[in-house]
Chains A and B, each alone.
Chain A
Amino acid sequence: MKRIIDATLRLAPGILLVFALAVGGWFFSKWLQSIIAVAWGRSLASTVIVAIVGGMLIGNLVPLPKVFAAGIGAYEFFLKVGIVLMGARFLLMDVARLGGIGLAMVVAEILFSIAFVGLFARLFRLPDKLGTLLSVGVGICGVSAIIGASGSIEAEKEQTGYAIAVILLFGAAALVVYPLIGRALAMSDKAFGVWAGLAVDNTAEAVATGAIYSEAARAYTTLAKLCRNALMGFVILGFAMWYAQRGMAKQVTRKGLFLWQKFPKFVLGFLGLSALFSALLAIFPAGSAHSFLVTRIGALKNYSEWAFQLTFVGVGLRTTFRDMVRTGVKPLVVGVAAEAAVAVFTIGMVFLVTDMLPTL
């Protein structure tokens, strides 16, 4: 019991701050939109952008006391709850179809980024393990993959910090650069969404990038990103075994258990709710029970929107540019090259297969 009270006290200030900013930002955004006359100005004042930019301004300009740190860090929890709740509004069939093609694209993307980053890391003589961490971060899902991999390949703490800083820096850049490229190329919501999900590294930033483009794009981004997250364990296991073979890390003894431990469990929650609501809609294809279900799915969508809104405030607050510039030039150069290469590779793939993907 004491543990729960301690955790609550530790998390409460930051979470309350994030809540206050999310709700305040939402009203502020609506007010801004009501006074802006031009359409592009209104889209810049969207609730998503106001949450992220507001968070960034406060995170970088206001010296926040340390009591807020733990609660601000909890935005990852809201992200995951938001994704689990999102499961309710996707039919399992669509998830399976998109997931099948998505997984194939993700495998290609991961192989490409591991090969490319590995090559560049050698060229710039980065330490092997830093190179691995960067390629895992770029290839799969940013921060959680890096943390997962750094334990398994026994990387130095400093290298882990570097790799995370690089990934976060590019996440922040992606929020601005990707939507601009998408608009310039007049990409559809589907194409842009899948692209952002494949190419933006960290889950929170990927979902935010999709959301900045459009609500429809965000749905595709989230699904594509989940495919990447689901493969995290396999890639980390591969690297762990490779380093173990060269005597640079411990052997992995129970591989099945290892894969299960590294599997992002919230994906199961997403799939579970998708299965449940798909089954209910199939049982009640019409009539009052059906329309009741539709209103409930709408209500759950609202909850998931708010969970994402909290996430976006957290992403903004966490993006402190001061910490990022300490990264050093070499990992940054490798990062720039890798991100650009992955972006080009994945946009090519997306243009090839977009027509094959189901419309959500």
Chain B
Amino acid sequence: MTPISYLEIFKALNSEAMLAVAALAALTLDLASLRRAEPVMRRRTIGTVAVIGLLASVIPLWQQLGHPRTVLLGGTLAVDDLILVFKLVIVALTLITVLISMDYDVGRHVGEYFAVMIFGAIGMLLLISAEELLTIFVALELTSISLYILTAFHKSELRSQEAALKYFMFGAISSAFLLFGLSYVYGVTGMSSLSGIREAVKNSGVGMSPLLATGMLFVIIGFGFKVAVVPFHLWAPDAYEGAPTPVAAFIATGSKVASFFVLLKVLFVGFAGLEGSAFWGHFSSGWTMLLAITGALSMVLGNFVAIVQRNVKRLLAYSSIAHAGYIFIGLVAASRMGATSVLFYIIVYSLTNLGAFGVVAALSSRAGGDELQDFDGMAKRAPFLSSLMLIFVLSLAGIPPLGGFLGKFYLFASAIQRDSQNFGLLWLVVLGILMSAVSLYYYLVLLKHIYVIDSKDQSRIITPTYLNVALGLVALAVVLLGVYPKPILELLNGLVAAL
């Protein structure tokens, strides 16, 4: 047993540590002195504490960039550039979520809110670092539980409670599946670290045994729930709709980024060699086949059901389900380009979604609701935020020159490139493209309400400057990723090589 050097751990994880401190500080501050204060002030103050903590945690992350890959604790955690980049992404997403929350009514328990949110962020950060099955599971649970709590935060609203309950129930069951699967995998390979599993599968030469297949299946089910693909998506619309909007944002972005990142690692590293094939006419069992099917189902169902939605958050939920499907295409490609495309897309997508939810949060509280009608005439009432929404929605629809378009293009390109002679994955790409076309319909409907339809209430909506600036920066990022993606793409491409 190698002695555990806590110092080493601390150094490697000092960003998480800082965040933990910040969370506790926020909690303490709130409990101690701000109970009586006015809600907005409370939120602002505690939020600021959270923000400071998040910003502080960036420093160690930044410092560690460029160092060679470190593996800690016997292979359970790792720190390398790719991981660091994504940790930074998570921190950024959390930061903006906090800013959005500062403007949103989260109830009486402000300190708890921010603390739990940061705990969730810590969980995500750990998840990203995790290189070993159990660690993954623990980090996943930490994240999930934080999110369950946050979902329930609107204690008096029925739909918030229902959402949280559903989320929790589904989550618990999927955790069970995940654990099951992980244990089977461990049982078959005898290893719990991802690289170890890969070695074991390669060496044993046994390929896909029934137990391993089952294990893999269950693992994918577990993750499938987390990222909300069909048929494990049933919790998502209710959760997104019922949760306080910033929480929904957090679920849709931070949690997704972390989950996809880990899924990528699990599949590409852990289950490398077990891909099977999803080429048309050459189907063979493996995780690509599974992902191809669930991805296809998600794209189709997510888009078609979104068409009939009346609630903006539900619409965004179904859109998320569809996008998970698109991302799965990149995973199915099972190549270096595929990995880059997935990573690029989750960055773009999370920023876009965060921005969209942020605008919804800011506007819905002032407009009295989050149904489509409540957004009528927003172009006149809140022109700046409406224009940001335009950018976010169009990016989701995949309209150039925004990041969403480039991301989708890259995903599809990687799928074709995988089998550029016979176009084996063309069916999946065609489906993706056609479903994208379908999605334009409901995105336009949302934009129609904002831009085309006039509302009776013509009063201007004022939103706090910090929020406008934050969301504006997010939109700018989305545009830049579309117009000048070169640096990010090159970065990711380089980093992926390490996998």
Q: Do A and B come from one complex?
A: no
Taking Cβ atoms with an 8 Å cutoff, the residues of B that contact A are none
